[in-house]
Structure 1
Amino acid sequence: MVVAPVDPSKLEAGDIVLARVAGTVHLPLVSSVDPAGKRVQISNNRGLVNGWTSHDRVFAICVAIDGVTRAEVAGKTLAADSDDSS
């Protein structure tokens, strides 16, 4: 599985994200979005809704699984920071 930094404001239901919830990092499914509240609802792979988490707790999006790129992530990742130390 490959993840990349994400712009949480571009997330949609069905995205797989890397998020910190209650001090633990999880890889849940986004089941709903609340753009006005800047939060996403996350669920597990068995259909159980775990609850809502804020954009600031979502760090990355799954961009590939077993070498297969997930097309639905186009435009959701953040550009890598440049390393300008000069």
Structure 2
Amino acid sequence: MAEQQKKTGAFDIRVVIAALVGIYGLVLTILGIIADPDEVAKAAGININLWGGIAMLVFAALFVLWARLRPIVVPVEEQARAEAAKTEE
């Protein structure tokens, strides 16, 4: 018989990392969109905030995709043993 399994879901560290990087990426993208042209000219004409923000958003999307396609699976029996060990302490 197949062993029961449980997915970790929102407690997966990849989701937390994706959320943090995504928030920073969104802020940088917005700052890049509203950037002063004089400030962009100082950086050799490259809007670093915009490109950095877009890269961070792509990175966050890839982390979420990775977490969805390959979720961490915890066998229910091991989880029950761990909970039983906690209650015995």
**TM-score normalised by structure 2 residue count:** 0.20
Structure ranking higher in helix proportion:
2
Higher RCO, 1 or 2 (CA under 8 Å, sep at least 6)?
Answer: 2
Larger Rg belongs to? 2
